[in-house]
Structure 1
Amino acid sequence: MKKYQAEIVPLNAEVIQTAAHGHAEFIETATELQIKIEMFDTPANIQHWEHFHGFPNGQAAKIATSAQDVNHDGVIDLPETEAVSGTTMVPFDNAPHEMCVPNDNYPVADAQGHFAYEIKVPLEALKAKFQEVFGTPDLELDKRVIYIHGVPQDLQLPATVAGVVGPYDQHVTLPIATGQIEAVD
């Protein structure tokens, strides 16, 4: 059994007017990956995409900071995170092992901005899909970071904010919190 955790800290808090934060726990057994994520102070009453990001070549990912705001618009958008965090890898939705990132099956925060997500993922299926997409079955969770995304559609964002994924716009993909995934002894 391998255990990992992440303290999830706010990102873009000044823009979204709330400091989203929480924690995540991952337990990998011989047959499954158990995932638990609890978030507080997220934008209320909306769906929040959540994933782990990383580099397919095994390079260690780091969380984005204000240093990643390369266009200096005051917002760290999804494309700006990629230099230090890599690409979106596994979604924490209703079927992580299918690795279908753009969908409407992510947690929805309550009126207080809280949500708790818990799922057991079949490890063999997840590793097979990970191999198909990234060329390796090794999830290397201790080299990944977690991102929580999503702000209300009526939030005014600078025109420079990027991050359209299929039919989903920057409001859906804007990172609001992030955390470094670390192995636990």
Structure 2
Amino acid sequence: MKIYRAKIVPLNAEKIGTAAHGSALLVINGESLTINLELFDTPANAQHWEHFHGFPDGRPAAIATMAQDVNQDGFVDLPETGAVSGTTMVPLDAAPHKMNIPNDDYPVANANGYFAYTKVVPLKELTANFKATFNDSELELDKRVIYVHGVTDDVSLPDTVAGAVGHYSTHVTLPIAVGKIERVD
């Protein structure tokens, strides 16, 4: 068994009016990966995308901070996280092993900004799809970070905030919290 944890800390809190935070527990046991996330103080009544991010070449990813706000608009948007965190890799949605990033199957926070996410993922399928997508890269969870995304449409974002994906706006993809995954067993 392999056990990983991440302390999820706020990102962009000063601008969005909430300081999303929480924790993640990831356990590889036999043929499955069990993922548990618990988040507090996220934007209420909103869907929140969350993902593993990392570098396909195996370099360790780090969490973004306000230092990554390269255009100095007061927000760290999705493209600005790439320099330290790499690319979006695995969605923490209804079916992580399918690796279908843009979709509507992510958790929705309650009226208090709380949500919990638990999923048991078939490791063999996830690993195969991960390797196919990232040129035989390994999952290497301890080299990844977790991002939580999403603000409500009433949050004012400047035109300089980037990161729209397909028909999903920057409100959906704006990072609101991040945590470094560390092996603890």
- Shared fold (TM-score, shorter chain, > 0.5): yes
Q: TM-score, normalised by structure 1?
A: 0.99
Distance 2:46 2:28 in 1: 29
Deviation at 1:129, TM superposition (A): 0.3
Which position in structure 2 is the counterpart of 1:172?
Answer: 172
Which position in structure 1 is the counterpart of 2:33?
Answer: 33
Deviations 1:56-92 (CA, angstroms, capped at 9, x unpaired): 0000000000110000000000000000000000000
Which position in structure 1 is the counterpart of 2:50?
Answer: 50
Gapped runs of 5+ residues in structure 2? none
Which position in structure 2 is the counterpart of 1:19?
Answer: 19
Deviations 1:97-154 (CA, angstroms, capped at 9, x unpaired): 0000000000000000000000100000000000110022520000000000000012
Distance 1:130 1:136 in 2: 8
Q: Contact 1:78–1:173 (CA<8 Å) still a contact in 2?
A: yes
Q: TM-score, normalised by structure 2?
A: 0.99
Gapped runs of 5+ residues in structure 1? none
Which position in structure 2 is the counterpart of 1:112?
Answer: 112
Cα 1:121/1:137, change in 2 over 3 Å = farther
1:115 maps to a residue whose letter is F
2:148 maps to a residue whose letter is I
Q: Contact 2:58–2:137 (CA<8 Å) still a contact in 1?
A: no
Number of residue equivalences: 185
Give the share of equivalent positions with the same residue, in percent: 65
Which position in structure 2 is the counterpart of 1:64?
Answer: 64
Distance 1:107 1:136 in 2: 29
1:152 maps to a residue whose letter is T
Let me know the Cα RMSD of the aligned residues: 0.6
Which position in structure 2 is the counterpart of 1:125?
Answer: 125
Secondary structure in 2 matching 1:124: helix
Matched, 1:95 2:57: no
Distance 1:107 1:150 in 2: 11
Query: Structure 1 runs of 4+ off > 2 angstroms?
Result: none
Secondary structure in 2 matching 1:103: coil
